[in-house]
Amino acid sequence: MKSKTVLTGLAMTLCLLLVANSGYAGALDAFKDETGSLKIAGGTAHIPVMQEAAKRIMTLNSNIQISIAGGGSSVGIKQVGEGLVDIGNSGRKPTDEEIAKYGLKLFKWATDGVGIVVHPKNSVRALTQAQVMDIFAGKIDNWKALGGEDKGINVYTRDEASGTREVFWEKALNKGEITTRANFVVSNGAMKSAVSQDPYGIGYVSVGHMDETVGPVSFDSVAPTLANVKSGEYKIARGLFSNTKGDPTGLAKKFIDYLFSTEGQEIAAGNGFIPVN
Amino acid sequence: MTKIGDTIWERLFLLCAIASVVVTALIFGFMVVLGLPLFKGGHFFYLLTQPWLPSRHAYGIYPMIVGTISIASLAVVIAFPLSLGCASLINVIAPRPFSRFLRRVVQLMTGIPTVIYGLVGVFLLVPLMRDLFQRGSGMCILSAALMLAVLISPTMILFFADSFEHVPRPYLDAVDALGGRPVQKFIYVMIPCAWRGILTGCILGIGRALGDTLVALMIAGNAIQVPSSPLDSARVLTAHIALVIAADYDSLEFKSIFACGVVLYIFTTIVVLAVRSLGASGRRQEP
Amino acid sequence: MNRQVERWMIGVAWLSGIVLLGTVFSIIGYLFYKGAATLTPSLIFGETQPMDALLLRRQVFDGLFPAMVGTFSLVVLSVGWAIPVGLATGIYLAEYSGKTMKRTLNLFFDILAGIPSIVVGLFGFSLAVFLHKHFSERIYPCLLISSLSLAFLVLPYIIRTTQVSLDSLPPVTRLTALALGATRLQNIFYVLIPKSLSGILSGVILAIGRCAEDTAVIMLTGVVATAGVPKSLLSNYEALPFYIYYISSQYANPQELMTGYGASIILLTICVVLFLLAFAAKRGLTYHALYRA
């Protein structure tokens, strides 16, 4: 029930309608006479955008069925490569190996960052890279050492298939260790829920997913905001990709075109990402 | 004509029976065949003792085995006195109306979906454990074991109550004739008579606890360490399968879940054989 | 000393009873406390009109309707697969098999009954991958595969209840028709099955309940978080227990979490009702047996 997001999206659309002719009716028109189904799977950060787009398309034309699954970036790449889904989302750029093996075509429709989060009541809000590496490796295990309360640090991490994890591990942890004591969660949404419920927890989540239920932590004095990701100051950034096996056709092609259209980009912006257009 | 019809039907029934057996065997077969790359060269036993560190190419399932055994045994240890007490209430100690009410409630409990135990565990039990122990995230072996104990109790209670009902009447009448109280009847006659049933109930409880996925997945934290205390986060074999299923299925990482499947299958078979042998020896002893 | 033990035993017994009752009621109470407020038609139908949704004229978003339809289709399909095979196997076990055959078959079915549901789900997933690679490109984890896997899961229930109901018929009933010249088959179809119908029915209803609440199997074989009403056997679908699991770990805001509680209440009600039905059906059997005898 993202009423807030839908309202924002609608408001922006209305403004656009007043200002320009393109956009609204045009983008969805492409789906008017289509039938069939579209399977999407992969990155969990993309899911809110996928769900909103699917909702609009299916409301317009109830003959289309779009199913959306999560699983993580590696799952998206693998499944689209094997032909199990039509569009595979990933929060990291597929490796050259993967592109060659599956003949993938990449479509980056937004930029996002990966930020460290803690519970909103936690007073520790700025960490250096060295501290972050030590926390996630388990070397620093009490908030006291960071100026917080005398309580143990509960580390939360993502599963191996996650693109968010991959990006965080490469850019923030410099490919360092993640402690075996860390609790595992299965998606960005799950990370958000877990950290927002644990007063002594710490984790990492897509910047687009951050809201008032979690407390963002500055990394080397740069806050994980959209502005900083856009300007390039915040280093832990990644693109949001939708990949297809070979050139997209039919419903998949229309869906990807829709993501790049004004309306699609609005949905991305409305969900906290930085659209490419 | 009818003779042939009869034979056809009989063959059909036999076919269905064989199909069911084939499915059972096939499940095990698929696990072994699909996990083969990991099993080659006596690797399987090696796997059982290795830690799980995919980034270092270690695909051992030892931490998960320890997790499964710890959570399952702790759950049964917690559930056993609980179930025995309730079964005694139902059979002897409580007055009739309450005993009937308790039995109904326990029977209804067997119908509660597992996911609901998980849901309530995450939002009610985990914060409670976190505040109580002031250590860790609340997602630990103890929390999962507590919830699991509540899950397996109804099965154990009903099984115990059933075995107590099968104690021969003359024994119970004898206690009454000697002027014994209900609780004495319970301790000195029913428990010794039905010990086999009690043991079977415990084994069934262990089997159920070993095989449960959701409670441990949602409550135990799923860390990959080998747990060293009940307040540590741990991962069980069943949750591991659920978590890794999303990975690339040509990778060795993925094959490890077939190893988990094999281990679980073997655990289950041991449980079933134990229960059967107890049942068989009980039958041999009956007058 | 003995008196101490006895008193202690009574104490433990009452304590366990209270703890158990307390736990059950707090679990159910917590669910209702958190979720009762969300039990409105919009929980199920979102912003779509109920009639439109039910007649499948419009899709439902933000509502439980697709999940409920998914669960319903799943249950119907799984039980549809399981009943013929389970019934036939049960009949074979009760009527045709010899002693050793019976013992061996029972061993296998006990094992099947004990296999953790996630292993059955893993089997279903492997089956899907196998079929995808060797048979048809169009097969991947979907409603068909899930229902087959669930059928494997509940097969032992149906086999066991059929066998037990048939076996518990009094000898008089079993032999009369045969004595009058009927064939074995006629005996089974015209006498034995109708008489054990309530037992078999209770097994079927238990199987339905099991299919409705299972999460582990469907997680691996095709359920997704968003799919709308399933359009074909080979499509992805949503299901109520998976929705609850998904929401509990990935809720976007507190309202979404409340819908999770609402969904739990609905699922709980469905399962409890099914359970009571099974119980009533079985009771029908005992009443009949006592009345006749």
Q: Which residue type is seen at B61?
A: I
- What residues of chain A lie within 8 A of the CB of B232, using their CB? 181
Is B202 in contact with B224 (CB distance < 8 Å)?
A: no
Task: Mention every residue, 6+ apart, whose C-beta is less than 8 A from residue B19.
Answer: C85, C89
CB atoms C110 and B108 under 8 Å: no
- The whole-number average pLDDT for the span B144-152 is 94
Phi-psi region of C183 (alpha: psi -120 to 50; beta: other; left: phi over 0): beta
Q: Is C249 on the interface with B (CB under 8 A)?
A: yes
- What residues of chain A lie within 8 A of the CB of C259, using their CB? 1
CA-nearest of B162, B88, B86 to C6 is B88
Q: Which residue type is seen at C64?
A: L
pLDDT in tens, A192-245: 888 988 899 999 998 888 888 899 998 888 888 888 888 888 888 888 999 999
Q: Is C16 on the interface with B (CB under 8 A)?
A: yes
- The whole-number average pLDDT for the span B96-119 is 90
Q: Is B97 on the interface with C (CB under 8 A)?
A: no
Q: Is B262 on the interface with C (CB under 8 A)?
A: no
Nearest to A180 among B224, B248, B253 (CB): B224
CB atoms B108 and C9 under 8 Å: no
CB atoms B243 and A186 under 8 Å: yes
Q: Residues of C numbered 45-84 whose beta carbons fall under 8 angstroms of chain B's beta carbons: which are they?
A: 84
HSE of A96, CA atoms in CB hemisphere, 13 A: 0
Distance between CA atoms of residues B111 and A34, nearest Å: 44
The three-class DSSP label of residue A106 is strand
pLDDT at A187 over 90: no
Residue-by-residue DSSP string for B229-253:
STTS-B--HHHHHHHHTTS-TTSHH
pLDDT at B131 over 60: yes
Q: Which residue in B4, B115, B250 has the most chain C C-beta atoms within 10 A of its own C-beta, making it the best mutation to test that interface?
A: B115
Q: What is the mean pLDDT of chain B?
A: 86
Is C84 in contact with C200 (CB distance < 8 Å)?
A: no
For residue A64, the cross-strand partners are A36
pLDDT band at B118 (very low <50, low <70, confident <90, very high): very high
pLDDT at B276 over 50: yes
Q: What is the mean pLDDT of chain A?
A: 84
Q: Is A240 on the interface with C (CB under 8 A)?
A: no
Identify the top-confidence range among B99-103, B255-259, C280-284.
B99-103
Closest-CA residue of chain B to A69: B246
CA-nearest of A246, A252, A256, A221 to A235 is A221
- Residue B236: its pLDDT value, please? 92
Nearest to B86 among C20, C31, C245 (CB): C20
- What residues of chain C lie within 8 A of the CB of B271, using their CB? 114
Nearest to A184 among B126, B130, B243 (CB): B243
- Residue A23: its pLDDT value, please? 41
Nearest to A67 among C62, C224, C259 (CB): C224
- The whole-number average pLDDT for the span B95-122 is 90
Distance between CA atoms of residues A70 and A206, nearest Å: 15
Nearest to B247 among A74, A182, A200 (CB): A74
Nearest to C271 among B17, B24, B112 (CB): B112
Closest-CA residue of chain A to C58: A62
Distance between CA atoms of residues C209 and C200, nearest Å: 14
- The whole-number average pLDDT for the span B228-239 is 90
Closest-CA residue of chain A to C231: A65
- What residues of chain C lie within 8 A of the CB of B275, using their CB? 110
Q: Residues of B numbered 56-75 whose beta carbons fall under 8 angstroms of chain C's beta carbons: which are they?
A: none
Nearest to C59 among A37, A59, A192 (CB): A59
Nearest to A69 among C225, C235, C255 (CB): C225
Residue environment code for B23-46, b if the CB has 16+ CB neighbours within 10 A, otherwise e: bbebbbebbeebbeebbeeebbee
For residue C122 the two structure tokens come to: 């893993």
Distance between CA atoms of residues A86 and A252, nearest Å: 6
For residue A184, the cross-strand partners are A157
A touches which chains (3+ CB pairs under 8 A)?
B, C
Give how far C44 is from chain A: nearest CA, Å: 13
The total number of residues shown for chain A amounts to 277
Give how far C109 is from chain B: nearest CA, Å: 7
Is B146 in contact with B125 (CB distance < 8 Å)?
A: yes
Closest-CA residue of chain A to C223: A69
Give how far C72 is from chain A: nearest CA, Å: 18
- Residue B76: its pLDDT value, please? 94
pLDDT band at A26 (very low <50, low <70, confident <90, very high): low
CB atoms B94 and C17 under 8 Å: yes
HEC string of B120-167? HHHHHHHHHHHHHHCCCCCCCHHHHHHHHHHHHHHHHHHHHHHHHHCC
Q: Which residue in A97, A98, A118, A180 has the most chain B C-beta atoms within 10 A of its own C-beta, making it the best mutation to test that interface?
A: A180
DSSP 8-class letter at B91: I
Is B6 in contact with C187 (CB distance < 8 Å)?
A: no
Q: Is C286 on the interface with B (CB under 8 A)?
A: no
Closest-CA residue of chain A to C139: A84
pLDDT band at A15 (very low <50, low <70, confident <90, very high): very low
Closest-CA residue of chain A to C47: A1
CB atoms B116 and C267 under 8 Å: yes
Most distant CA atoms of chain A, gap in Å: 62
How do A154-158 and A183-185 pair as beta strands?
parallel
Distance between CA atoms of residues B80 and C44, nearest Å: 40
Distance between CA atoms of residues C224 and C226, nearest Å: 6
Q: Which residues of chain C have pLDDT under 50?
A: 289-290, 292-293
Least confident range of A233-237, B54-58, B82-86, C24-28: B54-58
Closest-CA residue of chain C to A209: C252
Residue-by-residue DSSP string for C226-283:
B--S--STTS-B--HHHHHHHHHH--SSHHHHHHHHHHHHHHHHHHHHHHHHHHHHHH
Nearest to B137 among A71, A74, A154 (CB): A154
CB atoms B248 and A181 under 8 Å: no
CB atoms A159 and B246 under 8 Å: yes
- Residue C23: its pLDDT value, please? 93
- What residues of chain B lie within 8 A of the CB of A179, using their CB? 225
Residue predicted with more confidence, A143 or C132: A143
Distance between CA atoms of residues A209 and C249, nearest Å: 14
Dihedral sign, CA of B175, B180, B183, B188?
Answer: negative
Residue-by-residue DSSP string for A142-208:
BGGGGTS-SSB-EEEEE-TT-HHHHHHHHHTSTT----TTPEEESSHHHHHHHHHH-TTEEEEEEGG
The total number of residues shown for chain C amounts to 293
ipTM beyond 0.90? no
pLDDT band at A175 (very low <50, low <70, confident <90, very high): confident
State pTM to two decimals: 0.87
pLDDT at A24 over 60: no
Give how far C230 is from chain A: nearest CA, Å: 8
Q: Taking CB atoms and an 8 Å cut-off, how many pairs form between chains A and B? A: 62
CB atoms B137 and A201 under 8 Å: yes
- What residues of chain B lie within 8 A of the CB of C14, using their CB? 85, 89, 93
pLDDT in tens, B167-195: 888 888 888 898 888 888 888 888 888 88
For residue C78 the two structure tokens come to: 């799984």
